[in-house]
């Protein structure tokens, strides 16, 4: 009974969520687009001409936002490159290169290199999150692993002056992640956008400029 009530409450909140309504109105696949939008507007992350990679891109709302930001006023393509990677399929988005697979594996990396053509990435975005069990220590380890993957990807593929934005959770293990980011980047800020539900521990870490570029 309690679970049914919880599900009903979530459904009620979801249907009445202003960001859900806005996403439906503006054609975004998920309300998550507005989390990136607010962070981008605060931090001036996404600019025309950039190469941007969206890790864990499915269903695609972050890639949609980036694509729209890089689109010319008159339409007809974008000024920049957007690459989405995910192990789950994603419906096509105009002007977005999508790679289906694990970005640690050779086939996916080969496809990535074909799109990059020797270029380094300006911004790496990661809205990836593991399946959480509710056991704080186990979940912290899973989140840390996902963040580590994003950091390693940025080390290899990102410009030294680039930026990495990752999703994590403010709780067990968060201070360790913050410490890792501060070890990797010259500037680190945490962001809790308005579109991130108040009752969620979700928080985003943004690192700018690698301290020890490879």
In the numeric block, which tokens belong to residue 112? 């990535």
32 φ/ψ angles, rounded to the nearest 5 degrees: -60, -25
Find, among 211, 204, 208, 212, the residue nearest to 34 by Cα: 204
132 φ/ψ angles, rounded to the nearest 5 degrees: -95, 145
Q: Which regions of the chain does DSSP assign to beta strands (E)? A: 51-55, 81-86, 96-100, 121-126, 158-169, 185-191, 202-210
> How many residues belong to the chain?
214
The active-site residue out of 35, 47, 167, 191 is: 167
Dihedral in degrees, nearest 10, Cα atoms 190, 59, 5, 171: -20
Q: Tokens 């002007």 appear where? A: 95
Q: Is 167 a catalytic residue?
A: yes
Find, among 209, 123, 135, 124, the residue nearest to 171 by Cα: 135
Tell how strand 202-210 and strand 185-191 pair up: antiparallel
Catalytic residue numbers read 167
């Amino acid at each position: 009974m309690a679970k049914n009530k919880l599900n009903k409450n979530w459904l009620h909140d979801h249907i009445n969520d202003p960001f859900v309504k806005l996403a439906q109105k503006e054609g975004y696949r998920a309300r998550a687009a507005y989390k990136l939008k607010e962070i981008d507007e605060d931090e001036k992350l996404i600019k025309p001409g950039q190469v941007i990679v969206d890790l864990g891109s499915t269903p695609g709302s972050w890639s949609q936002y980036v694509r729209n930001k890089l689109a010319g006023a008159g339409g007809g393509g974008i000024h920049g490159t957007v690459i989405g990677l995910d192990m789950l399929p994603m419906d096509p988005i105009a002007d977005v290169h999508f790679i289906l697979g694990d970005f640690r594996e050779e086939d996916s990396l080969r496809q990535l290199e074909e799109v990059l053509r020797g270029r380094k990435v300006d911004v790496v975005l990661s809205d990836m999150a593991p399946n959480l069990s509710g056991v704080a220590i186990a979940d912290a380890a899973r989140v840390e692993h996902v963040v580590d993957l994003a950091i390693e990807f940025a080390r290899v593929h990102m410009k030294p002056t680039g930026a990495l934005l990752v999703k994590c959770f403010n709780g067990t293990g968060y201070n360790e992640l913050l410490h890792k980011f501060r070890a990797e980047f010259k500037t680190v800020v945490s962001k809790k956008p308005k579109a991130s539900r108040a009752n969620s521990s979700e928080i985003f870490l943004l690192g700018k400029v690698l301290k020890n570029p490879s």
